[in-house]
């Protein structure tokens, strides 16, 4: 098993899917072992990500858009496996009682996509802070969130500043030659 960060998350997702699926069949063995695994993995990988691994790239949270649907799919698959297990044991009332669970997970996924993923793709952090402060004020006035968002929408907010600002020009005549160098001349010596 590689200890590179890009292999950690798929491995943790795989362990989560296996443990959540087989907790139904052998809960006495799988539940404590999965809790111990994730407790130690949380401590170890948090330390490694913060202090050991050198980031070769920064995704800016883009990995969440891949990880969250995979976690939801693994939860639904474990619920379907539980449903099938209960049917094979002829426990029909328990199986019928579990039918809303995948629907609830799907509704939570849709809610999360609608209220968190879509705005996070198009809103800047500064604009989110402005909306948050306005929404805290509007809750007292009875204004709906949708009206507030439409009212305060700025179409120029999402443009790259370097593309809309004028080009930067430097006046080289203002640079003085008598300034001190950053490195003293005595330090630079060629022998």
What digits encode the pLDDT tens for the residues 47-82? 887 777 776 666 667 778 888 898 899 889 888 988
Check residue 179 and give its pLDDT: 58
Summary count for the chain: helices (H), strands (E) = 9, 0
Full-model pTM: 0.54
End-to-end CA distance of the chain: 51
Q: How far apart are CA 178 and CA 57, in angstroms?
A: 41
pLDDT per residue as tens digits for the range 121-172: 776 767 777 777 776 665 556 666 656 566 665 655 555 555 666 766 666 6
Q: Which has the higher per-residue pLDDT, 176 or 49?
A: 49
Going by pLDDT thresholds of 50, 70 and 90, the confidence category of residue 7 is confident
């Amino acid at each position: 098993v590689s200890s590179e960060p890009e292999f950690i998350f798929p491995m943790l997702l795989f362990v989560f899917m296996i443990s959540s699926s087989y907790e139904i069949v052998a809960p006495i063995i799988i539940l404590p072992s999965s809790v111990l695994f994730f407790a130690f993995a949380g401590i170890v990988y948090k330390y490694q990500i913060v202090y050991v691994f050198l980031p070769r790239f920064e995704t800016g949270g883009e990995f969440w858009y891949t990880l969250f649907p995979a976690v939801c799919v693994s939860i639904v698959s474990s619920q379907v496996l539980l449903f099938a297990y209960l049917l094979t044991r002829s426990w029909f009332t328990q199986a019928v009682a579990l039918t809303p669970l995948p629907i609830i997970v799907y509704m939570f996924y849709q809610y999360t996509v609608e209220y968190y993923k879509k705005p996070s793709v198009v809103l800047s952090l500064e604009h989110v802070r402005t909306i948050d402060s306005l929404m805290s004020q509007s809750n007292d006035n009875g204004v709906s969130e949708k009206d507030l968002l439409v009212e305060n929408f700025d179409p120029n907010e999402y443009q790259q500043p370097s593309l809309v600002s004028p080009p930067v020009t430097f006046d080289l005549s203002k640079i003085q030659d008598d300034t001190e160098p950053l490195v003293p001349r005595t330090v630079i010596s060629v022998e």
